Amino acid sequence: MTRRYFGTDGIRGQVGSGVINPEFVLKLGWAAGKVFAKSGRSKLIIGKDTRISGYMFESALEAGLVAAGVDVGMLGPMPTPAIAYLTRTFHAQAGIVISASHNPYHDNGIKFFSSLGSKLADDIELEIERQLDLPMTTVKSSELGKVIRIDDAAGRYIEFCKGTLPSGFNLRGLKIVVDCAHGATYHVAPSVLDELGAEVIAMGVSPDGLNINEGVGSTQPGALQERVLAEQADLGIAFDGDGDRLVFVDINGEVLDGDELLYVIAQDKIRTTGACSGVVGTLMSNLGFELALEEIEVPFVRAKVGDRYVNELMQSRGWQLGGENSGHIICADVTTTGDGLVAALKVLHAIVDGGVSLDQLKTNMQKFPQIMINVPIQNRAALEGNGDIDRAVSAAEGKLAGRGRVLLRPSGTEPVVRVMVEGEDEQLVNQLAGDIAAVVERAVA
């Protein structure tokens, strides 16, 4: 059965457009409640990022769940990975996240975690969609769900994050700028770093509902680069709006993306345990990353883009490390989903325990020039079997002569197709990406 609402990362869109409206979210809460209530009295928890529409959708979900006879725990603003962790901690049947991650404030979305803190199984998502087709009913008053506010959620998650490090580990002597994108990590990330002994300079920690991801965060690290240099800090860390992605900035103001951070963590695994079983990347992972892992004899495979696919391939291989160049990193030895703060602590462990600066840790990995152009598209079918696009891609691959890659990929979260070209010659890469993007634009016009 084809999904009508759920994508690779839940349901997402512009507020007030399509299904991202209070009426649908009320029905979605009820439908999810009916599915999880089939096994008896159930409890779900709800968390959100800091965008203004979160209040509206939080109330709608709460009402729908209560009408279905499900108890609800309200977490308030919390990072997405924290909600995955707390779902397990509170033995809830599921966790619900209200967030559009790195998107602007006018977008929002809903995604679910299972009782194990992982993405919902396909059959459960499909069952929720089936329930959405049924008339909404309300259980008897004596069976209505109850709602509580969970006040210690942030403290629990902070202790969990610190607990992923070896006993006695500290960050004393490090000066760190942390950029929370005016998002869900604003009240936890600075606290974790401070409690571990770092000198913390916090930015992007004044959410007003409208400024999430605006000019700050992992998708726009320029402000962090400037601040690291101005403060003469040892490094900087930027999270996205919901805290499941990150980038680092080294002492020289240079950005390290997800590929480079995965390489740092893999090296540290080898240093501390003697081996790294393997790393799962994606179709977007840099070729230089793959070659660098080959040099240190770490197996590498590519999954489709999306943390769901990375996680599935990690599980099938029995590997503990994987992620995307966007900074979505899964450390399966300590958690079940991509967690920006946990990944940041893994990198900091490599720096402090290994006694090597961040800029030195990345020196053995040389990224190939990679350009990505987002082409707006409303009709994905226009891409399929298009001869002009196929010929443009074939011509570009011929010019790269086996020392690069071309990838066209419709986004799972935005109405764009991503045109990516990678190779040794930056000028050629830019030219080829522009040529293909122009053909795509004409094809979908």
In this model, does residue 231 exceed pLDDT 80?
A: yes
What the block records as the tokens of 26 is 């009320």
CA torsion 226-227-233-239 (nearest 10°) is -100
Structure confidence at residue 409 (pLDDT):
85
pLDDT reported for residue 97: 98
Cα distance between residue 190 and residue 179, in whole Å: 9
Taking only the tens place, the pLDDT of each residue in 42-56 is 999 999 999 999 999
What is the C-alpha end-to-end distance of the chain, expressed in Å? 31
Mean pLDDT of the chain: 95
Rounded CA-CA distance 388/393 in Å is 9
How far CA 135 is from CA of 23, 30, 62, 70, 311, in Å, comes to: 13, 10, 18, 18, 35
Mean pLDDT in residue range 268-293: 95
305-343 CB burial, b ≥16 within 10 A, e <16: bbbbbbbbbbeeeebbbbbbbbbbbbbbebbbbbbbbbb
Cα radius of gyration rounded to whole Å, the chain: 22
Residue 403, pLDDT above cutoff 90: no
Rounded to 10 degrees, the C-alpha dihedral 214/219/225/226 comes to -20
Instruction: Give the pLDDT mean for 92-105.
Output: 96
Statement: residue 377 has pLDDT above 90 = no
pLDDT at site 414: 76
CA distance 339 to 357: 23
**Main-chain dihedrals φ then ψ at residue 109, nearest 5 degrees:** -165, 170
Q: Is the pLDDT of residue 382 over 90?
A: no
Give the model's pLDDT for residue 93: 96
Give the residue numbers annotated as catalytic, written as ranges.
Answer: 101
What's the rounded mean pLDDT across residues 77-102?
Answer: 97
Q: Summarize the confidence of residues 69-92 as an average pLDDT.
A: 97
Phi, psi angles (nearest 5°) of residue 304: -60, 155
Q: What domains, with CATH codes, occur in the chain?
A: 11-151 (3.40.120.10), 157-361 (3.40.120.10), 370-444 (3.30.310.50)
CB 236, CB 249: distance < 8 Å: yes
pLDDT band at 1 (very low <50, low <70, confident <90, very high): low
Beta bridge partners of residue 373, listed in sequence order: 419
Site of tokens 């008053």: 141
Residues 6 or more apart in contact with residue 284 via CB below 8 angstroms: 305, 324, 325, 326, 372, 407, 409, 418, 420
Share of the chain above pLDDT 90, in %: 89
Kindly report the length of the chain: 445
**Nearest 5°: phi and psi at 92?**
-80, 155
Whose structure tokens read 């930015």? 203
How far apart (Å, rounded) are the C-alpha atoms in residues 226 and 230? 6
* For residue 199, pLDDT beyond 80: yes
* For range 106-123, the mean pLDDT: 94
Band the pLDDT of 384: cuts 50, 70, 90. confident
Percent of the chain surpassing pLDDT 70: 99
pLDDT of residue 3: 81
pLDDT band at 2 (very low <50, low <70, confident <90, very high): confident
What is the rounded CA–CA span in Å between residue 313 and residue 290? 16
Inform me whether the pLDDT recorded for 413 exceeds 70.
no
pLDDT of residue 386: 83
> Per-residue pLDDT tens for 285-324?
999 999 999 999 999 999 998 888 999 999 999 999 999 9
Tokens at residue 217, please? 């965060």
Q: How far is CA 433 from the centre of its chain?
A: 26
